[in-house]
Amino acid sequence: MIEVREDWCKGCNLCIERCPIDALEESDVLNRRGIRPPRLKKENECNYCRLCELICPDLAITVISDDPDEEEKKPVKKTLLTPVGGKIK
């Protein structure tokens, strides 16, 4: 699950573009800035890598794992991305 502080989102769409598995999309609601904050796509494929949360420049996203076992552990802060350079998708 991802939670978005809708009023904090400025609509840079970096979360959507940089999600390694393309799990996010623009939602169909406008916030008070006239921006469509992100949401998970219907077929939820999020792997809780938390990249979107960590690179959101406005700290608007919180990723919460739906997996009950996961809750017990500290969220895994590992992505499959290469450190620098190269293409993301």
Interface positions with other proteins (CB under 8 A): 3, 7-8, 10-14, 17-18, 50-51, 53-59, 61-64, 74-75, 77-79, 81, 83-86, 88
User: Is the CB of residue 46 less than 8 Å from the CB of residue 2?
Assistant: yes
Phi and psi based region of residue 11 (left: phi greater than 0; alpha: psi -120 to 50; beta: remaining): left
23 lies in the binding site for ligand SF4 (CB under 6 A)? yes
- 47 touches, from other proteins, ligand SF4, none (C-beta below 5 to 8 Å by class): ligand SF4
When CB distances are held under 5 to 8 angstroms depending on the partner's kind, the choice from ligand SF4, other proteins, none that residue 27 binds is none
For other proteins, give the closer residue by CB, 32 or 42. Answer: 32
Helix (H, G, I), strand (E, B) or coil at 88: coil
Burial class (CB in 10 A: 0-12, 13-18, 19+), 80: exposed
* 36 touches ligand SF4 by CB under 6 A: no
